[in-house]
Structure 1
């Protein structure tokens, strides 16, 4: 993807490399944070919910403002807002303040998403699916590396906060880098967005927000819920259900993240050449369903490692592809329209840790992962409907 926005893409991908760490940093430091804040594992899962709250309350506004003022101000602002979370959490003297810092991470996340996805689609219009799926690749790389960094910190008996401070330093540097690079003109619509004739060429019939649009929005929730649940509870599942030591159980997240990385790298190459985004949205949740069942019912170390890898592989990229298909079906005001999908994802970030925190206390961790099985089934049904409507609508 050699064009004038390559530097922009590099900066955006660095942000998401760090976001991969942020997404699992609370769950990966659950023991240390529980002691620091005087709470339980469920309490830390509620901090993950707080990130979703921050994202939810700011997304709709961020999407509209991104369409009005451009993408750059929001991705740059996100880089600096993340510093509040990454520096604040390890130094928080109490749970209430940590909760506020977690909310700030959600606000940063919404700013990042509302600027990044439209910028990549506008900057690389012919490779939009690959460009957006690569976001997940960098998320996966960050999530893969963090558990190894945590293992090093634990082995050296160092302060766990260093796992927060290092991403903070990189976010700070990258924020200034993004200030200097070129972004596409957000007011320059693509052909489908400006020309009625072009839109007619693209569509056999007009897409309906209340049908396929709503299904994609709900898939934004379920696809996010699938991986949020795993990221929050997989280490604890490894310890309590599979009987693994803490370091090995945290490393299950690395196998999960390696699977996600392998998946999105393949998708970046194969999308639109060999396989369509809509097809991936159907096949991946089906694979996730089988993998979750294997994790639940075959309690052997090798199977757990393979299942974690395949769950990562099969949950990676679905949300990003949902965003791309949404922008393809409804090309006007990409920042606003994709914010609907992001809002659904934010609800998943809030509700899944909250519900599973309660469920883990009352019914145990096996029931938490049974919930994920149900979510995978719903994702399959939604994707089948979206695929059907896509064929009906698109030429």
Structure 2
């Protein structure tokens, strides 16, 4: 029987295609925005950083409110905030105004996350892992399509702002579409049972689980963020590859990431348990990073760039959230807020750590990533062990 929430899901995924564009729109239009805002590349970088600040500001709170008021209001709020961002950026005449618009985009991303991830898990209760992993595919699709849109505007000598307007138009139309689509109930019937699990911290076992998943949210984001930012520099300055060849490694990494998304979407919840798949991927990431660090050569890094993209950036972050949300089914919004707040924190703190490490050597950054991958694998073992202990305790009782 056809799932009646399928059209709703299409609209939710379309939001993330536009979000994928939004992440790169400022970067790819940097020369035009520098002139319009009367600033330089450093000023534009500050605006780009504001997106992360805005996301971290409200993500946890929006997750909690999503559990209370439902998913639709926050998804629609996210759409409105994104539309405001797209129009605001091309209208801004100063860095200060653009920074405020960047904060709005971060808030929009938080609202979308707080509503979309739980809504998809509730719409597809038998395949929540697949439903959430596909978000990553649509983000990547948006990032793939945007350069072609900008290239077309350049060929036609059109205003650079049309790329923002296209994104805003898609969001607006999609918002109207979602306004009339059904959403799944955000409080499942079993939530009312006194034995239902929640995120109330009075339960020590629940608190320990929350800590484990929060740490994994930080580590999983940090692991692939480190590779995406430093893989090319590692190849150029440690392996001494030409700059053109080192940059191409990022394409290999991206292909691995996209391959991982689609293969994981096929495997999870059908052939392989989500937690087991999480454990396998983190172990593969650890081995691949270890191989690159121990045997730095052009052949090794070309091979394992794909492997790391596949295992570390092919949906592991989304898989971790799915496992956490299934652990706390009555608080999916809170789980999303906590988990992605930890991930956002990683995008702030990791650059500070790597800035210090780079003064020593770039090779030390890759070894740091090995340590992060090892910690991530250890956490998946701990989460699985705690799950088995809890199931054994229930059988005894």
Q: TM-score, normalised by structure 1?
A: 0.81
1:386 to 378, 383, 387: 383
1:135 positional shift? 1.6
- Structure 1's 318 and 44: CA in aligned 2 closer, same or farther, altered over 3 A? farther
Map 1:1-395 onto structure 2 (within 5 A). 2-25=2-25, 37-40=39-42, 47-89=47-89, 92-147=92-147, 163-187=163-187, 189-191=188-190, 193-195=191-193, 208-232=205-229, 242-245=241-244, 249=247, 253-292=250-289, 298=296, 300=298, 306-315=303-312, 316-356=314-354, 358-359=355-356, 362=359, 368-394=365-391
Q: Distance in 2 between matches of 1:154 and 1:293?
A: 43
Task: Pick closer, same or farther for the CA change 1:2–1:264 going to 2, 3 Å.
Answer: farther
Tell me, in whole angstroms, the C-alpha distance in 2 between the residues paired with 1:177 and 1:149: 24
Change in Cα spacing, 1:218 to 1:45, as seen in structure 2 (3 Å) is farther
TM-score (normalizing by structure 2):
0.80
**CA–CA distance in 1 between the matches of 2:176 and 2:230?**
35
Partner of 2:395: none
* Cα distance change of structure 1 residues 82 and 228 upon mapping to structure 2, 3 Å threshold: farther
CA contact (8 A) 1:115 1:335 kept: yes
Cα deviation, 1:57-113, whole Å, max 9, x if unaligned, reads 112221122122211111112122123333444565444333322222211111011
Structure 1: how far apart are the matches of 2:109 and 2:129? 20
Shift, 1:7, TM fit: 0.9
Q: 1:255-309: CA deviations, max 9, x gaps?
A: 4333222212222221133211112222222323344456666463x76554443
Cα pair 2:30 2:41 within 8 Å, conserved: no
- Greater relative contact order (Cα 8 A, min sep 6): structure 1 or 2? 1
Contact residue 37 and residue 95 of structure 1 kept, 8 A: yes
Q: 1:130 to 1:171 in 2, by over 3 A?
A: same
Worse-matched range after superposition: 149-158 or 99-108: 149-158
Q: Do the aligned partners of residues 230 and 75 (structure 1) sit closer, same or farther apart at CA in structure 2, a change above 3 Å counting?
A: farther
- Conserved 8 A contact 2:223-2:372: yes
RMSD of equivalent CA atoms: 3.6
Return closer, same or farther for 1:150/1:378 CA change in 2, 3 Å cut-off.
Answer: farther
> Partner of 1:389: helix, strand, or coil?
helix
Q: C-alpha offsets along residues 321-353 of structure 1, whole Å, 9 cap, x if unaligned?
A: 222111221222221233211221221233234
**Aligned counterparts of 1:157 and 1:237: Cα–Cα separation in 2:** 38
Shift in Å, 1:24? 4.6
The question of whether the paired residues in 2 share the 8 Å contact of 1:64 and 1:335 is answered with yes
Question: Secondary structure at the residue paired with 2:127?
Answer: helix
* In structure 2, distance between residues paired with 1:17 and 1:349: 21
Separation in 2, partners of 1:224, 1:339 = 14
Provide structure 2 residue ranges, at least 5 long, that are not aligned to the other structure.
198-202, 393-397
Q: State the distance in 1 between where 2:45 and 2:366 align.
A: 15
Q: How far 1:3 moved relative to its partner? A: 0.9
In structure 1, the residue matched to 2:200 is none
Per-residue deviation, residues 156-215 of structure 1 (Å, max 9, x unmatched) = 88776555443333222222221121111223x143x3345787xxxxxx8822222211
Q: Which range moved further: 212-221 or 93-102?
A: 93-102
| Residue correspondences, number | 381
Q: 1 CA distance for matches of 2:365 and 2:165?
A: 31
